[in-house]
Amino acid sequence: MNIENISSNKTFGGWHKQYSHRSAVLNCDMRFAIFLPPQASDGTKVPAVYWLSGLTCSDENFMQKSGAQRVAAELGIAIIAPDTSPRGDDVADNDSYDLGTGAGFYVNASQAPWNRHYRMYDYVVEELPALIEASFPISDRKSISGHSMGGHGALTIALKNPLQYQSVSAFSPISNPVNCPWGEKAFSQYLGNDKSQWLAHDASELMRTAQQFLPAKVEQGNADPFLEEQLKPETLVAAAKASGYPLELNSHDGYDHSYYFIASFIEEHLRFHASYLRT
């Protein structure tokens, strides 16, 4: 599969790069960002953390705002940030910010017109890692993290594929999308009105019924304006207690939903992942 380099910036001894490629899974051109730490400069394969961003974001938000490259360079970890949805003139969209472009929810849509392009689950789990590992000095040892909608994506993908990831973390994840406005709107459009089909993409349900466990770390700001209506971290805590899942969920007074929150704790998360990626 051909990839085209769009931009390159040296930072902390490594390289932040953007690439575009044709996605067979999504049936459109896609863009992703990658940070290659200095340890990869001689072709040595390094592990990776995949970062899934939230509503309205692209590959750029995390890479430009989180400050993660400094710690990733120290730890010898690559960071891969895909886009949040398919994009293009012929890709289905909606005027609202929480459906369509920038709001793929990391599921495989089964309903028209979304099912022609919106297969972000397969893209993140299968197509993109295969492309990354074939094109860069990246090993198959990987962890996954994300924010808000991307936190939902990271948790559900890891919970459904525990043998593919070493660890999972999330910031302000949509923990129970089958019971919140964002999730109900997106799932009804992408997956249809049969709510039993939604449960396979709900982190709380997946954690409650989990048989295989991954180290899991979640950060939540108590001043997050979406906390009660959309995020519902208490459902994730209850699910972990029910199954004995090793979840560490930390609440922080005064922090909101912004990248100021992510930047404050991203170092802890990268060090958390590094401890499992090295072994």
Report, as an integer, the average pLDDT of 150-173. 98
**CA distance linking residue 225 with residue 255, whole number of Å:** 10
User: What burial class does residue 43 get, using C-beta atoms within 10 Å of its C-beta: 0-12 exposed, 13-18 middle, 19+ buried?
Assistant: exposed
Asked whether the bond before 113 is cis by omega within 30 degrees of 0, the reply is: yes
pLDDT tens, 37-56?
999 999 999 999 999 999 99
Task: Report the pLDDT value the prediction gives residue 211, as an integer from 0 to 100.
Answer: 94
Domain interval for residue 159: 3-278
**Alpha helix segments (H runs only) across the chain:** 60-65, 69-75, 120-122, 128-135, 149-160, 181-190, 203-208, 233-243, 259-277
What pLDDT, in 10s, does the model give residues 113-140? 999 999 999 999 999 999 999 999 999 9
SS3 202: coil
d(CA 261, CA 168): 18
Q: What is the DSSP string of 105-123?
A: TTSB--STTGGGT-BHHHI
Label the pairing between strands 46-52 and 168-171: unpaired
CATH number of the domain encompassing residue 254: 3.40.50.1820
The number of distinct structural domains making up the chain is 1
| Both tokens assigned to 23 | 């996605």
- Residue 212: exposure state from Cβ atoms within 10 A (0-12, 13-18, ≥19): exposed
Residue 270 confidence (pLDDT) above 90: yes
pLDDT bucket at 167, cuts 50 / 70 / 90: very high
Q: Are the C-beta atoms of residues 274 and 77 closer than 8 Å to each other? A: yes
- pLDDT band for 207, please (50, 70, 90 cuts): very high
- Long-range contacts, 87-91 (Cβ 8 Å, 24+): 87/28, 87/29, 87/30, 88/28, 88/29, 88/117, 90/28, 91/28, 91/117
The residues carrying an active-site annotation are: 148, 224, 257
Length of the chain equals 279
Is the per-residue pLDDT at 279 higher than 70? Answer: no
Q: How far is CA 136 from the centre of its chain?
A: 20
pLDDT number for residue 215: 98
**pLDDT band of 278, cuts 50, 70, 90:** confident
Output b/e per residue, 174-203; b: 16+ Cβ within 10 A: bbbbbbbebbebbbebbbeeeeeebeebbb
Q: What average pLDDT score do residues 236-265 get?
A: 98
- The model's pLDDT over 248-262, given as tens digits with 9 standing for 90+, comes to 999 999 999 999 999
Positive or negative torsion for Cα 191, 198, 144, 256 = positive
Please count the other Cβ atoms lying within 10 Å of the Cβ belonging to residue 1. Answer: 11
pLDDT (average), residues 133-162: 98
**Prediction pTM value:** 0.97
Average pLDDT over the chain, rounded to whole?
97
User: pLDDT confidence of 174, banded at 50, 70, 90?
Assistant: very high
What is the rounded average pLDDT of the residues 222-241? 98
Q: Is the pLDDT of residue 93 over 80?
A: yes
d(CA 102, CA 272): 28
CA distances for 67 relative to 1, 27, 73, 221, 270, angstroms? 30, 32, 11, 19, 11
- What is the rounded average pLDDT of the residues 260-278? 97
